[in-house]
Amino acid sequence: MKAFWIINLLLFQLSWFAAAKYTDVAAAVIFINLALHFVLSPSRRGDLLLILLVPIGIAVDQLMLSLQVFTSDSSLLPLWLALLWYMFILTFNHSLKWLMHQSLAVVALVGAVAGPLTYWVGIQAGGLGQGWPMPQMIAFLALVWSILLPVLAGCYRTLMAGMRREAGTSLVGGK
């Protein structure tokens, strides 16, 4: 399904909106969107492989929550935010696939701009609380995301290359 990237984009945006504005139902909405993604996805195997990257994002957000860069009702990362990481990582194979093939410098720049912007909008919408003064928070998030997104992109490239090698080997009569 060539147009699946649009479905992926819409599912992610719906998930993000629920997480930012309706945290009481966000986990359920995101879980349903994850299920829909896997029912409709033309690349389930590659998508499942990407789930290996989710703990990186969850660990980074948990660290930022622990440092009180942003705040939540609990000292543990909310379930909806952890599930949102699943939806975000799945965009790498679909709606953000174009970004995964850019230079790491471009990926870092996108991370430095888009990362802080999403947290800022999420805080404005009430999904999270502001922990640090806004200028320091934005600067720190820009630094974190200028590193995090290229790391995730590099891991994505490694995972997909391994999957292609494995598929090529099995097609040629290997293991």
pLDDT for position 167? 82
Joined tokens for residue 140: 């720190």
Q: Which position has the token pair 């720049």?
A: 109
Residue 46 and residue 89 in contact, taking contact as beta carbons nearer than 8 Å:
no
Query: Per-residue pLDDT tens for 29-46?
Result: 999 999 999 999 999 999
Residue 171's pLDDT band (boundaries 50, 70, 90)? Answer: low
Domain tally, the chain: 1
Range of the domain at 24: 4-171
pLDDT(88) > 50? yes
Name the pTM for this structure.
Answer: 0.93
Residue 1's pLDDT band (boundaries 50, 70, 90)? Answer: low
> Helix, strand or coil for residue 71?
strand
pLDDT for position 2? 79
User: Rounded to whole angstroms, how far apart are CA atoms 37 and 94?
Assistant: 11
Please state the separation of Cα 170 from the chain's center in Å.
30
Of the two residues 171 and 118, the one the predictor is more confident about is 118
pLDDT(150) > 80? yes
10 Å Cβ neighbour count for 133? Answer: 9
pLDDT(172) > 90? no
> Helix, strand or coil for residue 165?
helix
Residue 152 and residue 89 in contact, taking contact as beta carbons nearer than 8 Å:
yes
